[in-house]
Amino acid sequence: MTQVDRLLAAEVNPAYARLVADACLAHDLPPEYAGVLLQMETGKKLPTRPYHGNNIYGHDRATDGTLACMTVIGADIEVTEANYQAYLACVAAGGRRNGVGPLQITHWSLQDAAGPRLWDPAVSIPFGIKHFAGLRRAYGDATAFLRWNGKQTYADRAMTLLSEWEQLLEDPMPVLVVQMGHVGRPPNPGSVGTAREQDNARKAADAVVRHVHGKGGWGVNVVIADPPDSAYRGDAFVALHCDGSLDPGSRGASFGYQGAEGTAFAVATWQAYVRFGWPATSLKRDNYTTNLALYYGVRKAINQGNDRAFIFEMATTTNPEDRALLEAADGSGYDRVGRAVAAALGITDMPVPPATTPATAGTEEDFMYLTSHELGRSALAVGPVLVELTDAKERNEAQRVIDLNRAAGREVELKLSATTFKAALGEA
């Protein structure tokens, strides 16, 4: 959730939320102070004001009853370029100063310093926030509010509101959106998936909920195949599917993703999936394909600002071995999916099993685990790679890929399992 989103959720005027967020950033003022000022000065107390922050004149009146320039008791007058000229003329003729704009800049010295475009919130909001930020730095919270307005009752009320705004703008629990592939689709027309795919997606989604919901501060929303677009909003997204093939020998899990955040989430899940026991030999060779990357669920999530998104083909269930692993009667296959996603989100309150791969040099968790043929196809752009040579025939291919990368001056770091590599080269 961005700062602007949080301000909007706290009912700051949508016309000004961006200006407020930018000005707070520029002047190092936490946005809850701006929220307090907007609520106190031109907040939503009248039915005509649905938001905090309105570009209006104040309702100032002197103790003798004299109205300030542009004051109409009981009504808001919107500040415009034209009527600000009238306001200045009224002041020049001896009229009383009035509050101007969302932050009600009032004192003559401030109005003069802000310049002739004070009617424009793009000027008055940053000006007011800069001024308040200076007061806060010089005097601290309570005295800054007192100096801003002059009345102790104002400062007291502002301090109460300050803790409310701190909570209002606090980051809510991050949410992982889990889409159960094909679930909820009518049998005809529409794609209902491969055999048992919906059932597998439901069970895996349950496991993700078990391992993620309420852990490490995360919440989970489980959605069906075609929810409303807004259901894709959140802080991470995974669509759970199974692959199928006419060739029962074809097997493998695969991943579709785009963008830096989606790539990082998918790769971390993929690494954890293998660490938790999914065979590294059962990853699709082309585990990253354009078709998967452009999967509609991933696109919809990204369109809703949920960029940390990927599609997870958990297994190719037309293959007997993949099926047995994913659909294991003890639920361990679904559990592995839940654990992998949780680990990829940085949730650490679960025991990490020892690596299932042969003993290797280095810390295995740091590396993507790939067999050498997979390395050649897909791994060059994603970071450190641990190469497991499962077959002596692959050693030439692995060496070629390493040489090519070195020759090209690539930054990609290739880490070989020292034991297995040397063994394959006949050196150990």
**Minimal distance, residue 209 CB to Zn ion, in Å:** 20
**Among the candidate windows 189-197, 277-285, 335-343, 363-371, which touches Zn ion by CB under 5 A?**
189-197
- The contact mask relative to Zn ion for 195-234 (x = CB under 5 A, - = no) is ----------------------------------------
Nearer to Zn ion, 196 or 215 (CB): 196
Label residues 268-299 b or e (16+ Cβ within 10 Å = b): bbbbbbbbbbbbbebbbeebbeeebbebebbe
Nearer to Zn ion, 180 or 236 (CB): 180
Q: Which 85-104 residues touch Zn ion, going by CB under 5 A?
A: none
Q: Which two tokens stand for residue 331?
A: 């639920």
**Minimal distance, residue 291 CB to Zn ion, in Å:** 11
Nearer to Zn ion, 313 or 364 (CB): 313
**Among the candidate windows 18-26, 177-185, 323-331, 337-345, which touches Zn ion by CB under 5 A?**
177-185
Going by C-alpha positions, the residue among 221, 217, 197 that lies closest to residue 209 is 221
Nearer to Zn ion, 219 or 244 (CB): 244
**Minimal distance, residue 99 CB to Zn ion, in Å:** 59
Where is 416: in which H helix or E strand?
strand 414-416
Amino acid at 160: T
Nearer to Zn ion, 244 or 331 (CB): 244
**Minimal distance, residue 411 CB to Zn ion, in Å:** 35
3-state secondary structure of 255: strand
Phi first, then psi: what are they for 63, rounded to 5°?
Answer: -60, -25
Report the Cα 111 to chain-centroid distance in Å. Answer: 39
Q: Does residue 339 belong to the site contacting Zn ion (CB under 5 A)?
A: no
Angle at 289 between CA 295 and CA 335, to 5 degrees: 70
Q: Does residue 121 belong to the site contacting Zn ion (CB under 5 A)?
A: no
**Among the candidate windows 181-189, 246-254, 273-281, 391-399, which touches Zn ion by CB under 5 A?**
181-189
Q: How far apart are CA 384 and CA 411, in angstroms?
A: 10
What are the residues whose beta carbons fall under 8 Å from the beta carbon of 322, sequence distance 6 or more? 251, 252, 253, 282, 315, 316
DSSP state of 48: T
Nearer to Zn ion, 6 or 241 (CB): 241
**Minimal distance, residue 211 CB to Zn ion, in Å:** 22
Q: Are 175 and 232 in contact (CB under 8 A)?
A: no
Q: Does residue 193 belong to the site contacting Zn ion (CB under 5 A)?
A: yes
**Among the candidate windows 56-64, 188-196, 225-233, 383-391, which touches Zn ion by CB under 5 A?**
188-196
What are the distances in angstroms from CA 326 to CA 83, 158, 204?
Answer: 71, 57, 9
Q: Does residue 241 belong to the site contacting Zn ion (CB under 5 A)?
A: yes
Count of residues engaged in binding Zn ion, rule: CB under 5 A: 3
Nearer to Zn ion, 34 or 238 (CB): 238
What are the distances in angstroms from CA 377 to CA 26, 285, 312, 397?
Answer: 46, 7, 19, 11
Q: Does residue 181 belong to the site contacting Zn ion (CB under 5 A)?
A: yes
**Minimal distance, residue 241 CB to Zn ion, in Å:** 3
Q: Does residue 284 belong to the site contacting Zn ion (CB under 5 A)?
A: no
**Among the candidate windows 76-84, 150-158, 235-243, 371-379, which touches Zn ion by CB under 5 A?**
235-243
**Minimal distance, residue 46 CB to Zn ion, in Å:** 53
What are the residues whose beta carbons fall under 8 Å from the beta carbon of 271, sequence distance 6 or more? 344, 365, 367, 368, 369
Nearer to Zn ion, 181 or 333 (CB): 181
Q: Does residue 297 belong to the site contacting Zn ion (CB under 5 A)?
A: no
Label residues 230-253 b or e (16+ Cβ within 10 Å = b): ebbbbbbbbbbbbbbeeeeeebbb
Q: How far apart are CA 389 and CA 398, in angstroms?
A: 8
Q: Which residue is nearest to Zn ion (CB)?
A: 241
Which chain residues interact with Zn ion by CB under 5 A?
A: 181, 193, 241
